Structure formats: C-alpha cells, structure tokens
Structure 1
Amino acid sequence: MWIEIPNIWIAVINTLGIPATHLIIAWASTRLPQQWFQKTPEATADKRKLQQFLLERIFLVRRWKKHLPDAAPMFRGFPKARMQSKEPDYLRNFIAETRRGEFSHWLQMVTISIFITWTPWPGNLIVVLWAIISNAPCIFNLRHTRQRMRNLLHTLTTS
C-alpha cells in the first residue's frame, strides 16, 4: 500500500470505483472511432493454430463463452453475442469490434490494478485477482471469436 487512507474510505472507493471503472471504460471504448480498430498485423499461421489450440483445448472457450455478458448494446455499441450476417463488410466490422472489446478489457484490467496503490494486503491481491478474473475470460472469448470470424471471412472471400 503506497497511499495511506482510512479503511472505511478504501472500502467505499473500491466498492464504487471498481464497477464504475468497468462501466466508464466500456462506455468510452464504444465512443472511439472504429477505424482505430480496423487493421492490426496478422499473426502467422502457426501462431493462429497455437492460439486456437490454447483457447479451445486448454481454456475450453466454447464451453463457457455463452455465459459471458455482452455489454456493448447497453452503451449502444456493436452487439457481439450473435452473428447477424455473413456479408464480408459485416464480418470486417465484427472483427474490428472484437479488437475494440479486447482493448477495453485490457484497459480495464490495467486501470483496476491501480486500486492496489491504497489497498492493504491481502485486499490488494483480491483487487489484482478481480482485475484478471473479470477481464481475462472476455479477452479469451474475443480472441477466439475474432479468429473464427477471420477464418469465415477468408473462406467467403477466396471462394
């Protein structure tokens, strides 16, 4: 703990601040221009296969992904719970939106971890664990979904 605050204030700040951080970053992320998320370097085929193996066989994403919430529609963002179309432009938008979602969750994880600066042991461990547990499954799912959308887009545009 680097900042000394009375325990009651730590409880209030963390109880209100952590959920607010999730919501504010999610909302702000939906307001960023989509072109920021359009293009990123492509992974090699070997890296994509390894990532797919890890996500499907080790983390078993397909078994639990249906239980994750999609908060984007709550903020008038792009819904990612269900694929609405197989049109290439829609798939490109979907892929970009998975990047936006991943950006949002990484930012939430880092920002929530800042709460350890005033949270004493073992509460600071709980804060870091919460930051990871509440965001990592979403990141895994978004990467898995993006990989599947890329594969579908590749199939549709090369046939």
Structure 2
Amino acid sequence: MPPLSLPVIWTVMIDIFAWAFFHIFVSVLCLKLPLSFFLKESAWFRTFVWEKSGKVWQRIFRVKSWKGRLVDGTVILKKGYEKKKLHGTSIDDLKVFAAETRRAEMTHWLSIVPAPLFFIWNPIWAGWIMILYAVMFNLPFIIVQRYNRGRIDAITLSTSR
C-alpha cells in the first residue's frame, strides 16, 4: 500500500502529469547549463575503451537502423541544439556536437532519477512499472548519444594527433 492512497483515475493522471513535469523540468535545467560545462572532458561522460568508438553500440543494438526514429527534444521544446545531423564538419563543430551529446545524455540519466518518487502514490507493482518506464524510455536516447559521441571522439582524437 502506498503512503498516499488515491483513486486509480487520479493516480494515472498524476503519473502522466508528473512524468511530463519531470521530463520538461530536467530538460530545461540541462539546457540552462552553459555549453562550456559540456565542452570540458569529464569522467562522467568519457568514452570507454570497451565502447570501441561507438562500434559496440551498433553491434549490440543496431543503432543506425532506429536512431533516426527518436524524437529530438529540441523539436518539442523549440530550444537547444538539434542533433539529427551535423551542423558542420570542422573540429570545432564536431566538439560542439560531442558536447551536446553530453548534455543530452545527462538529461536522460537525470530523467530516470525521479522514478522512485512514484512509489509515494502508486502501488508497489506500479512503482516498479514507473522505474521500468523511466529506464526503457531513456536508455535508447543514452545509447544513441554514446554511439554518436564515440564516433565523433574517434575523429577529433585522430585529427588532433
């Protein structure tokens, strides 16, 4: 039994409103962070050797076949850096694109964080469904950002040598 017991219709309405709020709040929060925050190399967003410059994501998940179907948040918020295509091919353009993949990845990781709050007004089984939703909704976006950044990092590292 959740700490807050509500009729089913109210629980569903609150779930929908809460997810919309959390997704938009986290997105706006991350958009407010300066680009310089994401241009810096950070342990949080480093590309790991095992990712093989993004190739592992293609091999396991066949990213190229479905990544174009994901909706870019900039379309919804009408703000931000659209990542459907490169905005240029210079090293600086690629570094900005990589930084924006860090911003997007951070947005999607942070969008998972509020999921345990849903146990407050949902039955335990529904709370677990909310956690599953949070992971399953955000994971494809995280995988695409890591895939793209791995490829970009390989290009920028090879040209800076």
Coarse TM-score class (shorter-chain normalised): 0.7 to 0.9
Q: Any conservation in 2 of the 1:30–1:75 contact (CA below 8 Å)?
A: no
Deviations 1:19-58 (A, max 9, x none): 22112211221111112212214445x3232x73431111
Q: Residues 73-112 of structure 1 correspond to what in structure 2 (within 5 A)? A: 73=75, 74-112=77-115
CA drift of 1:118 comes to 2.1
Unpaired runs of at least 5, structure 1: none
1:15 corresponding residue in structure 2: 16
2:72 corresponding residue in structure 1: 70
User: Which of structure 1's runs of 4+ aligned residues deviate more than 6 A?
Assistant: none
Identity of aligned residues (%): 28
Q: Any conservation in 2 of the 1:102–1:142 contact (CA below 8 Å)?
A: yes
Q: 1:114 aligns with which of 93, 109, 117?
A: 117
CA drift of 1:116 comes to 2.4
Between stretches 75-84 and 100-109, larger displacement belongs to 75-84
How far apart, in 2, do the equivalents of 1:43 and 1:26 lie?
A: 22
RMSD after superposition: 2.0
Deviations 1:50-100 (A, max 9, x none): x73431111111111011111125342011111121111111111111111
Does the C-alpha gap of structure 1 residues 101 and 139 become closer, same or farther in structure 2, counting only changes over 3 Å? same
Normalization by structure 2: what TM-score?
0.86
Number of residue equivalences: 156
Does the C-alpha gap of structure 1 residues 141 and 113 become closer, same or farther in structure 2, counting only changes over 3 Å? farther
Q: Any conservation in 1 of the 2:30–2:107 contact (CA below 8 Å)?
A: yes
